[in-house]
Structure 1
């Protein structure tokens, strides 16, 4: 087997509208066409997609609630990490600095999924 490209990650969300606000408005991901007929939506960044699938479930439980980066998470690079932190806090989303000491932080989407944001260093 030879994998040739990473396509997408799918996550389940309880409230699609609330999650669309987080992923589309707060994170600024581009909404793309989704040719399916069950509740959900797709976002894309640089050819990689995130598929949100509406499926009612209990809140996500974190195996390591003290250190969010040690849990399953999605990771993105940002141009300005302090600005990203301020935008998240202003919008009411929690922020936890990386315990590794690197320029990164973690937040949670409305369903408790962990999102990592790291300072982009090209």
Structure 2
């Protein structure tokens, strides 16, 4: 087997409207049409998709002190300072990378961890 491309990541959310605000407005991702009938929303990021799926969820946080040591989704950003300002302006948590690299971690309204790195 040779895996040639990552197609999408499914993220479980409890409140679709709140999640769409975070992924669409706070992170600025592009929402795309979907034909499936169950509640959710799809976002396109280059050749990759984020699939928000409504579900009854609970936290599976392993380390609340170092968010990067938990399951997370990582995005590259052009300007980490601008990204940090936007995250803070939307009252979302910010934790800078403990490694000292140009990266931060935040959480969506359901506690899913998002890494933003300047590369």
Structures share fold, TM-score greater than 0.5: yes
TM score, norm. by length of structure 2:
0.97
SS at match of 2:23: helix
Q: Distance in 2 between matches of 1:11 and 1:86?
A: 24
| Counterpart position of 2:85 | 86
| Counterpart position of 1:101 | 100
Return 5+ residue gaps in structure 2 as ranges. none
Give 1:1-122 correspondences, 5 Å limit: 1-58=1-58, 60-120=59-119
SS at match of 2:21: helix
Moved over 3 A (4+): none
TM score, norm. by length of structure 1:
0.94
Alpha-carbon RMSD across the aligned residues, in angstroms, is: 0.8
SS at match of 1:28: coil
